[in-house]
Amino acid sequence: MTAYIVTSLDTYVGHGASAATQIETAVGELPAEIISDASALLAGKGGLSYRDGLLIQLAWGLVGPEGYDHTQRGEGARTVGQALGKANAARHIPKINDAYENIGKNFANLARGNVDEFDRLLKWMNSADRQQRELLFKFSAATISLTSRPVLPMPTLRPVELTFGRVISLLDELLLTPSGGAHEQFAAAAFLGALIDQFGFGGVGALNVRTKNINASDASSGTAGDVQVMRGNMFEEIFEVSANDWHQKLDQAIQAARKAGLPRAHVLAQAADTTDLVSALAGQTVDVSVIGVSSFLRTVTAILRPPAREDALRRLYDYIDNLQPNVNLTNGFVELLRRHAFTTE
């Protein structure tokens, strides 16, 4: 089931002309009210769960048991929904983790009056012939494919090339590229996470590094700081990260430490002159360290072995790709890896 859906998506992802042709064909051959209802769901009415649910229910009738009732959730539907969520994420399509968690978690019947367009289409599927259902399935897959962001995939790296000097050269160039602080925050999180895993401190129930969306405040994201080292749900270390002067992050670091219940915090920022740090912290009970982002990354990179440096760069790609909206930053990072001859391409 999942393979059938994903193969169909891959027919159109990155092939806009083919997707447009398929959409035009379906619009010309299917009833206008069917196209209208499907378009509403595919545009997000009711949430992405109904978009994915439409695609899966259509697929179930095409490759599932004969006489399938489209108004009913198929056996194993949640597994398919979760797999589709992962497939969408891999193709840079806006995704929901599990469509059926929202539309069919506790009920087998999916036509329950929550979204009229969805209910009408499910009932229509039971009376439509196979050719019509195939047309609507392809229309849906093609339409969804057009929401894929044009993001370059993470290339395969060559660990033998990841020497200290070459990695630092890449990071220096990365930090010189304006990103609104994204490069600084995500590089710190990625390399710190790789360091923890290299020494076997990471994993479930052990230490893990978390960072937030670059556009989210600490409060809205539910985090204490830009980068956190966690042991389960317990805070171990807090980092505030900036591309600017460290003074602008000092108060945030103090507040982050207090929120996390920690006696100290760290600021990674421009830190050429820290002579007034003692006076700036006068009267404070929080111990704040201030380190230049570049110096921090140099130190961590020196400790990392080549496989862990590869891990760090992969984490960095994932953060840039998933935690900020600018496609150019993601593609720029891939081009930077290529320019420094780190890839097998």
Q: Domain boundary at 112, 145, 178, which?
A: 145
What CA–CA distance (Å, rounded) separates 7 from 263? Answer: 52
Cα 316 to Cα 52, 183, 191: the distances in Å are 29, 8, 8
Same-domain status, 65 and 189? no
| Residues of the domain holding 191 | 159-339
Q: Does 180 map to a domain?
A: yes
Residue 152 lies in a domain: no
**CA 275/CA 49 separation, integer angstroms:** 54
Residues 134 and 171 occupy one common structural domain: no
How high is the pLDDT of residue 345?
79
Within a domain: residue 154? no
Please give the model's pTM, rounded to 2 decimal places.
Answer: 0.75
Residues 196 and 111 in one domain: no
Question: Do residue 182 and residue 320 come from a single domain?
Answer: yes
Q: What is the pLDDT of residue 149?
A: 87
Is 151 inside a domain boundary?
A: no
Q: Are strands 227-231 and 207-211 parallel, antiparallel or unpaired?
A: antiparallel
Q: Are residues 182 and 304 in the same domain?
A: yes
CA distance linking residue 333 with residue 183, whole number of Å: 9
If DSSP codes are grouped into helix, strand and coil, which group holds residue 57?
Answer: helix
* Same domain? 121 vs 6: yes
**Residue 164: per-residue pLDDT:** 98
Return the half-sphere exposure (C-beta side, CA atoms, 13 A cut-off) of residue 30.
29
Which pLDDT score, from 0 to 100, does residue 268 have? Answer: 98
Residue where one domain finishes, among candidates 110, 145, 180: 145
Question: Which range among 71-85, 219-233, 279-293 shows the weakest confidence by mean pLDDT?
Answer: 219-233
Q: Are strands 287-292 and 264-270 parallel, antiparallel or unpaired?
A: parallel
> The tokens of 333 are what?
């990072």
The CA distance from 20 to 24, in Å, is 6
Q: What is the pLDDT of residue 90?
A: 87
Tens-place pLDDT, residues 230-251: 998 899 999 999 999 999 999 9
Read off the DSSP letter of residue 300.
H
Residue 105 confidence (pLDDT): 74
pLDDT computed for residue 70 by the predictor: 96
User: Do 109 and 38 share a structural domain?
Assistant: yes
- The answer to the question of residue 11 being in a domain is yes
9 near 141, Cβ under 8 Å? Answer: yes
What percent of the chain shows pLDDT beyond 90? 84
Q: Are residues 181 and 320 in the same domain?
A: yes
Distance from the Cα of residue 104 to its chain's centroid: 25
DSSP string, 141-172: HHHHHTT---PPPPPPB-GGG--HHHHHHHHH
**Residue 224's pLDDT band (cuts 50, 70, 90):** confident
Is residue 243 a part of any domain in this protein?
yes
Q: pLDDT tens, 271-326?
A: 989 999 999 999 999 999 999 999 999 999 999 999 999 999 999 999 999 899 89
Number of domains within the chain:
2
More confident site: 1 or 172: 172
Q: List the beta bridge partners of residue 234.
A: 231
Tokens matching residue 307? 């496989």
> For residue 256, is pLDDT > 70?
yes
Q: What share of the chain is helix, strand, coil (3-state, %, to 5)?
A: 55, 10, 30
Residue 220: pLDDT band by 50, 70, 90 thresholds? low
DSSP 233-297: TEEEEEEEEEEEETHHHHHHHHHHHHHHT-SEEEEEEE-S--TTHHHHTTT--SEEEEEEHHHHH
CB 157 within 8 A of CB 342: yes
| Confidence at 221, pLDDT banded by 50, 70, 90 | low
* Residues 239, 321 within the same domain: yes
* Residue 345 belongs to a domain: no
- Does 223 have pLDDT greater than 80? no
Q: Give the pLDDT score at 222.
A: 62
Count CB neighbours of 91 within 10 A. Answer: 20
Task: Please check whether residues 115 and 200 belong to one and the same domain.
Answer: no
pLDDT tens digits, 102-159:
887 778 899 989 999 999 999 999 999 999 999 999 999 999 999 998 899 899 999 9
Residue 108 contacts residue 139 (beta carbons within 8 Å): no
| 201 or 274, higher pLDDT | 274
Are 261 and 211 members of one domain?
Answer: yes
Residues 118 and 196 in one domain: no
- Of the residues 145, 168, 194, the one at which a domain ends: 145
- Domain assignment present for residue 9? The answer is yes
pLDDT digits (tens, 9 = 90+) for 46-61: 999 999 999 999 999 9
Query: For residues 248 and 251, what is the distance between their CA atoms, to the nearest angstrom?
Result: 7
Angle at the Cα of 242 from the Cα atoms of 241 and 243, rounded to 5 degrees? 140
CATH number of the domain that 176 lies in?
Answer: 3.40.91
What is the structure's pLDDT at 28? 97
